[in-house]
Amino acid sequence: MADPIGFGKPKPQQKKSATKGAAKRAEASQLYDQFKNEGTPEYEIYIRIEGKKSWFPVGAIAVKRTNQIHAAIFDNEEELQKGAFRLFPILKKSQNQLEYGYRLKEFKDDEIELAVRPSKGQQAGIGLQNALSMVGDRVSSLFKGK
């Protein structure tokens, strides 16, 4: 079938430039894929209005340790909310009454666990654990190369 020909010369298609948000999501997606390929546990993240039973899926996060999942959720809270409001506009009306949940991606039958906002002291401890974990990964990768 031939391309439709109209009146006048066809205008060249302009490519839309990626927005900052799209670029940030693409970068996060690459990092997520890297973690996934390394065998890092993946968690599905859910959101709901406090007191309601229905959970809405809003994304996935990969973290190396289970005790890091709460901090990872609340460190990315703004981005999770943006995605949730885009997918489920009804949540925007109750944005001050939202709570988050998670479960391991491979265990779909498990109950969704409620995420608890870490206190400032817990976040500092997790930050130290992350730093030590990264140093340990770097050191072990040096010995793997030989």
> What are the residues whose beta carbons fall under 8 Å from the beta carbon of 100, sequence distance 6 or more?
45, 46, 47, 73, 74, 77, 80, 114, 115
Region 6-32 average pLDDT = 69
| pLDDT computed for residue 60 by the predictor | 86
Q: Report which of residues 128 and 72 the model is more confident about.
A: 72
| pLDDT computed for residue 35 by the predictor | 67
State the pairing for strand pair 113-114/56-62: unpaired
Cβ-contact 32, 60 below 8 angstroms: yes
Cβ-contact 42, 49 below 8 angstroms: no
Band of the pLDDT at 143, cuts 50, 70, 90? very low
133 has a pLDDT exceeding 80: no
Q: What percent of the chain has pLDDT over 70?
A: 65
| pLDDT computed for residue 130 by the predictor | 56
